[in-house]
Amino acid sequence: MKQIYHLVTIQLKEFYREPGILFWAFIFPIAIAGVLGLAFTSKGVPQTRVAVISSSHDANGLSTKIEKAFSNSSGGNSNGLGVIVPQVLAEEEAIKALKRGEINLLVQEDEKGNLEFSFDPNNANAQRDYLLLSNALLSMQGTEQGNSNIRKLDSKGTRYIDYLVPGMLAMGVMNSCLWGVGWNLIEMRMKKLLRRMSATPMNKLAFVMSFFFTRIFVTTVESIIFLTFTFTVFENAFFGSIPAALLIFLTGNFVFACIGIFVGSRAQSSQVGNGLVNAFTFPMMVLSGIFFSYKNFPDIVLPFVKHLPLTLMADTLRAIFIEGAGLTEIVYPCAFMVVIGFFFLGVGLRIFRWS
């Protein structure tokens, strides 16, 4: 027992003598919980938007009916499931909002009071919104209810898989660059390889940028395999410009490789390096709308979320894939991502440590 006691004491001392490990073990989980808690916690009633097609018979009347249906529900909250907020939109605008993940459900009514709900049946959020809305409307109409039917939105561009694939592509580039660049630098420092390289007449910028060009090759192969699979199996949409897609792909590789250089510029242990990489990747994966729209987050965090590198890349890829965007539409996100990349590259080179 005495031997175990001394061994445990030694390991605990090694642990608390490393400030970086203490930060990532105790402070980082609290910080990330606070940030995500702020983003996800809503003090009001959860709200979901639905498009009322303007060509419907009395579209404004249907919108008012939806608002009234939820105001009459228990506490205006439909027993804790939230409320549906209607927006009267032309069908073209509604389809565009659906492609961007801003809404999941379209509804219209004919002159006889029959309702038609349009959504992708493979989208779980759309199913939930349909059940919530149809139940509220049918409960309010009582015995005077009309018929209702479902129109499946399963054409290219309107399906959930078309929303998901560009986001997954952007997330793959981010993970490949941050782990491939940042983690490799940390690992080389731990193995004393960087110290040996520092003895050579090698330019620091050329050394770190070699990781960027390596990642370009790796992510290109990864993305080709990923897209070949999705196009073959799901036949996902691609309506935009191929040069625009290549440009945002290169820009995304650049910004995430630069962040990876910053992450791997000083860390000397695997614990600290792991925490640093997760500190960048995890919040962006949650906040950037990869699996669901970030428009559901509180308005106070949306300006920040929209300018995260992963959000910029995912939104731009979706605009190209689904909405047919060209080079002119992607100038701003590309320029902003290049600025972010140069910022992290400059700071990373300034604090870079060979040993």
pLDDT for residue 22 is more than 70: no
**Predicted local confidence at residue 297, as pLDDT:** 77
Question: SS3 for 50?
Answer: strand
The kind and range of the H/E element at 47 are strand 47-53
Length of the chain: 355
Residues 244-278 pLDDT 10s = 999 999 999 999 999 999 988 888 777 778 778 88
Average model confidence (pLDDT) for the chain? 83
**Predicted local confidence at residue 293, as pLDDT:** 81
**Predicted local confidence at residue 44, as pLDDT:** 61
Residues 56-100 pLDDT 10s = 888 888 888 888 887 766 555 666 677 888 889 888 888 888 888
DSSP result, 92-158: HHHHHHHHTTS-S-EEEE-TT--EEEEE-TT-HHHHHHHHHHHHHHHHHHGGG---EEEEE--STTT
Residues 318-340 pLDDT 10s = 999 998 888 998 999 999 999 99
The stretch 213-240 carries a mean pLDDT of 90
Percentage of the chain modeled with pLDDT above 70: 87
With 0-12 / 13-18 / 19 or more C-beta atoms within 10 angstroms meaning exposed / middle / buried, residue 298 is middle
d(CA 220, CA 49): 37
pLDDT for residue 53 is more than 70: yes
Residues 280-332 pLDDT 10s = 888 888 888 888 888 777 778 888 889 999 999 999 999 999 988 889 989 99
Closest to 174 measured CA to CA, from 71, 277, 70: 277
d(CA 29, CA 24): 7
Q: Which residue shows structure tokens 């196009």?
A: 231
pLDDT for residue 134 is more than 80: yes
Closest to 68 measured CA to CA, from 147, 144, 136: 136
pLDDT for residue 32 is more than 70: no
**Helix, strand, coil distribution of the chain in percent, nearest 5:** 65, 10, 25
Count of CB atoms situated within 10 Å of the CB of 27? 11
Contact 117, 133 (CB under 8 A): yes
Banded pLDDT at 37 (limits 50, 70, 90): low
Count of CB atoms situated within 10 Å of the CB of 104? 25
**Predicted local confidence at residue 316, as pLDDT:** 94
